Amino acid sequence: MLNEHVEICDWGLTKTTAFDEIEDLLIDLRDRLPLHEQGIETICIDDCCKNRQNHQSIFPNANVKLDIFYVCQRVIRCLPNKHILKSQFAKEFGLIFREKDDLGEQRLKNNPNEPTIEENLDSFLKKWNSFTGSCLTEESLKQIEALRAHIRKGCVSDIPPGFGMEKNEQLQRLLNRSLLSGATRINIELAVALLTIIFYYHSKRVTSNRKDSCNAKIQCVPSVGRHSNRSTDNEQTTWAPFKMKEKEEGPIEPSVSREFLISPLVDTESLVTIDDVCSEKVTEGTLKVAQGIYEIISTFTENVFNRSFNADDLLLLNNMPTGLIMRHAEEIEDENDPCDPTVVEHVQASSRNLGGFNLTTNAVPKDGDCAFRSQARMLSSVCDPQQPEISTHLKSIGLCKYEDEDTITMRNLFVDEILKCDDEILAFFPEQSKEKITTKALQFRRQGMFDTAIGDLVMRVCAQLLRLPIMVVTSLNSLPYVPFIPDNPLSSRPIYVAYHYYGAGYYDSKRSLGNKTL
């Protein structure tokens, strides 16, 4: 039995997992608690509904909850072992038991209430059932439906952070590394002796950071094995392939990319043959581009609070032409009806996706200028004396004045870029002539005008104009974010906007959960 500090309160050898074999241990623990003026508030077990009454007969004031670790394991064990999406599924599944602003590696808040968890579960299933090749199996769906019954009973609600039986698994791994791991036969006396030493070692390790006059001078010296201080520098991360071996070549310095970020790239038009490409100049430019993108995506990763966030996706989604195609937005009868099921679903998804970045919506009027205003509203946070390069550039193109004026300026700058009709713009409209594109672009100068075909390019073009990365956080579970990274960014820090993927589709600005505009 472990407490919330991972300390062993009591232990015993049993033949089965039946409650009557641990009843004496629980009664002894109950009798000891008053001596320390403590009580039991929450009990996490893997068979809550079966043994709730048994535990509450000993601890009448305790809440008996279903352990989330075992809940997840019951579902994950039913997935195909070698499925490529199994790991991502496991990360996302555990998040259905979290508040929208508590999606990091460690849970910091109590579990949400029953309706919220069930809404999270429904959104999760909708996402994973929406594409072919999902790792969901018939057996896993049965386990999920069994979980739904526990959710509705409150078995997984309001569990404090740090509570869970996964800590038993940590202790199990310690036992596997001990002398008992290779033993096939052992008498009870030796088993008790070895377990006593191992459990003492465990308890001493977890209490090493706590000051206690009773054991301050006690030093536990393991009789077997030795400690090894493991450095986190060599741990595998998403970006491990980009990291250089520090001992051989030294770490990558951020200053390396600064020259590239504010200077032109290699003139690709001068490259005629393959020999022209195989040059130091081209290689240097390519490496600087890679380092620049690495810095930007690393900043994205540092600012995210969602453990299911996969930085590799950003490379695939970066500047994706069809990432925000508004004509694919979900149609509804009245997008202003807060009770419409589609609106409710998208609002909940948007709130949760924003919560992964510690953000919430800062509403912008739905007047056709929302795409430009959502960006203009955030320019004040990046146009300051501490970032002179950014400030100078934005002012040079007529921005950083007032929100209304910046909104109009950004619209005109966007139209000017479309009127250039370069190859990239024309490639986005393969079925339209240059004259037709020009006509639509000129109409786009009017305030409130938002043509869907041209509007799809707004974020991509604006990222190039501002020379700042833009992260669009959507209201879709299947596509929660779309990054837009310019060719010559002045900063690795992105600006964020929200995109509501229903009705006509519209944008909102963002503010942090600390009420600071980003």
**CB within 8 Å of 216: residues ≥ 6 apart:** none
Flag whether 225 is in a domain: no
Residues 200 and 160 occupy one common structural domain: no
pLDDT of residue 16: 87
Flag whether 518 is in a domain: no
Distances (CA, A) of 291 to 191, 243, 254, 279: 55, 10, 8, 18
Flag whether 406 is in a domain: yes
Residues 141 and 269 occupy one common structural domain: no
Q: Domain count of the chain?
A: 4
Is it the case that residue 406 has pLDDT exceeding 70?
yes
Lowest mean pLDDT among 24-28, 417-421, 509-513: 509-513
Flag whether 98 is in a domain: yes
Residues 168 and 182 occupy one common structural domain: no
pLDDT of residue 257: 35
Report the length, in residues, of the chain: 518
Q: Which segments of 46-174 are extended strands (E)?
A: 63-66
Flag whether 303 is in a domain: no
pLDDT, tens only, 212-253: 544 444 444 444 443 444 444 444 443 344 344 333 444 434
Residues 330 and 359 occupy one common structural domain: yes
Of residues 24, 13, 4, the one with CA closest to residue 175: 13
Residues 418 and 499 occupy one common structural domain: yes
Is it the case that residue 148 has pLDDT exceeding 90?
yes
Is it the case that residue 437 has pLDDT exceeding 50?
yes
Flag whether 301 is in a domain: no
Residues 275 and 344 occupy one common structural domain: no
pLDDT of residue 139: 93
Residues 282 and 189 occupy one common structural domain: no
Flag whether 107 is in a domain: yes
Distance between CA atoms of 434 and 440, rounded to whole angstroms? 10
Is it the case that residue 331 has pLDDT exceeding 80?
no
Tokens of 489: 């960014």
Do residues 43 and 63 make contact, with C-beta atoms less than 8 angstroms apart?
yes
Distance between CA atoms of 355 and 512, rounded to whole angstroms? 9
CB neighbour burial string for 212-244, b if at least 16 within 10 angstroms, e if fewer? eeeeeeeeeeeeeeeeeeeeeeeeeeeeeeeee
Q: Share the mean pLDDT of the chain.
A: 76
pLDDT, tens only, 108-118: 889 999 999 99
Lowest mean pLDDT among 55-64, 450-459, 494-503: 450-459
Residues 24 and 161 occupy one common structural domain: yes
pLDDT of residue 75: 92
pLDDT of residue 248: 43
pLDDT of residue 117: 93
Do residues 446 and 484 make contact, with C-beta atoms less than 8 angstroms apart?
no
Backbone angles phi, psi at 202, to 5 degrees: -60, -50
Flag whether 11 is in a domain: no
Residues 275 and 185 occupy one common structural domain: no
What residue has token string 């310690």?
174
Could you say which DSSP state residue 81 is in? T
Q: Give the residue-averaged pLDDT of 268-284.
A: 62
Q: Which domain holds residue 268?
A: 238-296
Q: Which segments of 389-463 are extended strands (E)?
A: none
Q: Which residues on neighbouring strands pair with residue 405, listed in sequence order? A: none
